[in-house]
Amino acid sequence: MNYNMLIDSYYPSLSKSEKKVANLIKKQGEKFIYQSIQEVAQDAKVGEATVLRFCRTIGFDGFRDMKLHIAKENTPIRAKRKDNYVEEIVRNFEDSIQETYSAIVQENLEKVASLIKKSDRVFLFGIGASANAVFDMCSRLLRYGKTVYTVTDSHYQMMNSAILDEKDLVIAFSISGVTEDIIDSIELAKKNNASLVVITNHILSPLASLGDICLLTAGKESPIDGGSLTGRVSQMLVTDLLCTTYALIDEDMSELMREKTANSVLRKSVEYKKKKK
């Protein structure tokens, strides 16, 4: 059954608060699948418990289950546009970059860059698709002479969080901001007084609430589009801006480190080895 018809069938029996959620979902349509439960609750002016209760009242296991149902329902509509899928994908990339740019606060970039500079140890946490952003940022910072630790396994994240202190920094990546493993690790890191930076799509997410600084991404991702390139492009843009901001703190040293790391890799090339012979 179409989700609008489903909501309509239950509407008369919904509570006043649940009807606010129903009205919001019907008004937003497909846009709803890109929101977090915190954002829906805020927009509907109800509590998160009300949103969950609404989902279960109309027959779903929970919030994510309802989003998945609506996302599946809308997939065939998108699939029919085969004639212009190239333009649509490019437009999604462009929108992701522009929306991320609009959400950037340069002052926060500078604060995070300073934290990276002064921290004894920097840990980058990410799971699943977000691990790509972790490795990209590690590579960029290494080229500027900053050694960081990439941790993409949830058990190792917990172990590392257990031995952090106030001189350490953790940068956590999660598009949704509700990945339980990342949240558990960041809660432990916070308990040990480490500095925390969160890079996520959702400012109202549980993960964002734990960060000392939150940098927003804007790559829209539905429940069935997990690991989409638009989400990763948004993360990559933030890491690129952040690493560039870091490099500008000491341009001469950053340039020196870039030359050293570039030369070290150059020595691995076939052309270099032939020339050496």
pLDDT (tens digit per residue) in 156-183: 999 999 999 999 999 999 988 888 999 9
Chain segment 241-275, per-residue pLDDT in tens: 999 999 999 999 999 999 999 988 877 766 656 66
Output the pLDDT for position 150.
97
Chain segment 61-81, per-residue pLDDT in tens: 888 888 888 777 765 444 445
Task: Specify the range with the lowest mean pLDDT, choosing from 58-67, 82-91, 190-199, 233-242.
Answer: 82-91
Domains and CATH numbers, the chain: 3-80 (1.10.10.10), 92-266 (3.40.50.10490)
Output the pLDDT for position 77.
46
The model's pTM = 0.76
Res. 36 pLDDT band, cuts 50 70 90: confident
Closest CA to 148 of 264, 216, 242: 242
Chain segment 113-148, per-residue pLDDT in tens: 999 999 999 999 999 889 999 999 999 999 999 999
What average pLDDT score do residues 204-229 get? 78
